[in-house]
């Protein structure tokens, strides 16, 4: 049942729910789950069932959530994902179901996912050049495999955006080739600043190429003009290539934090609720789901968690590092990007 919209300690509404459906992945991206890191995946029996995910999503919808994004790990590795999408699509109040994927399995699933209700997909691709890309993804995947996923999503009717994380010394050489390619293709490319999520990637500020640097590089060759944000809380600042209707986006989580408009909650595959990508602990919802708790009680727990939310890590990052304080970090592949 739909209640009035819940707001957190900084008056931010709860609009989006990111559901991580698995922590496993077929890539080992250097900035997320590097091959050398000793990552322990959760045993399958710890995953929430589809019924449990849907029950939670219904309660989120009751609190004002309108958008769901399926993520991971690699969400397309979760068995029967299409079935989950169909179930989520039925929920009253959910207006949008999107997916974030590395794209290699998309060719197989795009059509069914679209028919089940996924109308938008973000596909991660960090380089066109295979020498660079294979180092970035750590498993020898080729950019052509991801581009086949992009084409399959477009053919299925999905709106496609491409995400590129830039890590200095690794794929910065691909900034312009990627911009040219996706401008030509008419697809929005979004540059994401390399973030200090988790601890396995050994993040260092010196490895970050700021979006200002990237914007300047692109603008020098392909002039851009600012485009209006599509909605409140949009994380990317959008630009349009002059004389075209092709947009390009910049997600500057490190250099220009956007916590004040962050409306996202995250659910891990084993049912922990996180109110920030950088939260050091989650709220375990599985015990509640597997108890005799009513829907109202579950919704009350979610409402209370959001109500007291005061996360704004990206705005506080500099002071964290300056003070030398240590922060426990949950891996991105676990919490869902």
Q: Which residues make up each annotated binding site?
A: 18, 25, 29, 31-32, 69, 73, 100, 124, 161, 195, 259, 262, 264-266, 276
Name the residue nearer to ligand SAM (CB basis): 6 or 165.
165
Output the DSSP codes for 33-88.
S-TTS-PPPPPGGGSPPHHHHHHHHHHHHHTT--EEEEESS-GGGSTTHHHHHHHH
Contacts of 55 (CB under 8 A, 6+ apart): 289, 295, 298
Query: Residues 172, 259, 283, 288: which binds ligand SF4 (CB under 6 A)?
Result: 259
Residue 336 in the binding site for ligand SF4 (CB under 6 A)? no
Residue 179 in the binding site for ligand SF4 (CB under 6 A)? no
Three-point CA angle 308, 326, 304, nearest 5°: 10
Annotated binding site for S-adenosyl-L-methionine, which residues?
31, 73, 124, 195
- Listed residue (197, 159, 191, 162) closest to 176, CA to CA: 191
Residue 191 in the binding site for ligand SF4 (CB under 6 A)? no
Q: How far is the CB of 12 from ligand SAM (least distance, A)?
A: 21
**CA neighbours within 13 Å on the CB side: how many for 202?**
7
Closest residue to ligand SAM in the complex (CB) = 337
259 binds, among ligand SF4, ligand SAM, none (CB under 5 to 8 A by kind): ligand SF4
Name the residue nearer to ligand SAM (CB basis): 63 or 254.
254
State which H helix or E strand residue 193 sits in.
strand 188-193
Beta bridge partners of 15: none
Give the interface segment with ligand SF4, choosing from 47-55, 68-76, 203-211, 297-305 (CB under 6 A): 68-76
Name the residue nearer to ligand SAM (CB basis): 124 or 314.
124
**Cβ count within 10 A of residue 26:** 14
Helix, strand or coil for residue 262?
Answer: coil
Q: How far apart are the first and last CA of the chain?
A: 28
Name the residue nearer to ligand SF4 (CB basis): 247 or 311.
311
- Contacting residues toward ligand SAM, per CB under 6 A: 25, 31-32, 71-72, 74, 100-102, 124, 163, 165, 192, 194-195, 197, 201, 332-333, 337
194 binds, among ligand SAM, ligand SF4, none (CB under 5 to 8 A by kind): ligand SAM
Annotated binding site for [4Fe-4S] cluster, which residues?
25, 29, 32, 259, 262, 276
- Judged by CB under 6 A, how many residues of this single chain contact ligand SF4? 22
Name the phi and psi angles at 321, rounded to 5: -70, -40
Whether 80 and 42 have beta carbons less than 8 Å apart is answered as no
Cα–Cα distance, 277 to 253 (Å, whole number): 11
Give the interface segment with ligand SF4, choosing from 35-43, 58-66, 67-75, 318-326 (CB under 6 A): 67-75
Residue 13 in the binding site for ligand SF4 (CB under 6 A)? no
């Amino acid at each position: 049942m739909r209640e009035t919209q819940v707001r957190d300690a900084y008056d931010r509404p709860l609009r989006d729910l990111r559901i991580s459906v698995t922590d496993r992945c077929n890539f080992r991206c250097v900035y997320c789950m590097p091959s050398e890191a000793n990552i322990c995946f959760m045993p399958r029996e710890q995953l929430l069932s589809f019924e449990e995910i849907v029950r939670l999503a219904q309660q989120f919808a009751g609190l004002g959530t309108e958008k769901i994004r399926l993520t991971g790990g690699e969400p397309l590795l979760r068995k029967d994902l299409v079935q989950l999408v169909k179930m989520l699509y039925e929920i009253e109040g959910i207006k949008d179901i999107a997916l974030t994927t590395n794209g290699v399995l998309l060719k197989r699933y795009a059509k069914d996912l679209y028919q089940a209700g996924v109308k938008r997909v973000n596909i991660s691709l960090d380089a066109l050049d295979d020498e660079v890309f294979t180092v970035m993804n750590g498993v020898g995947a080729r950019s052509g495999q991801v581009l086949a996923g992009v084409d399959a999503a477009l053919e299925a009717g999905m709106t496609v955006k491409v995400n590129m994380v830039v890590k200095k010394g690794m794929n910065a050489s691909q900034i312009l080739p990627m911009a040219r390619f996706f401008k030509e293709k008419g697809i929005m490319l979004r540059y994401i600043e390399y973030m200090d999520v988790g601890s396995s990637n050994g993040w260092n500020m010196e490895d970050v190429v700021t979006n200002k640097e990237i914007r300047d590089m692109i603008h020098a060759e392909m002039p851009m003009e600012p485009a209006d944000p599509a909605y409140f809380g949009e994380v990317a600042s959008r630009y349009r290539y002059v004389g075209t209707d092709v947009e390009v986006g910049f997600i500057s989580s490190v250099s220009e934090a956007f916590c004040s408009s962050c409306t996202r909650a995250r659910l891990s595959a084993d049912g922990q609720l996180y109110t920030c990508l950088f939260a050091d602990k989650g709220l375990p919802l599985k015990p509640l789901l597997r108890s005799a708790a009513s829907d109202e009680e579950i919704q009350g727990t979610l409402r209370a968690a959001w109500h007291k939310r005061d996360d704004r890590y990206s705005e506080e990052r500099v002071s964290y590092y300056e003070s030398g304080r240590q922060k426990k970090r949950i891996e991105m592949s676990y919490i869902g990007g």
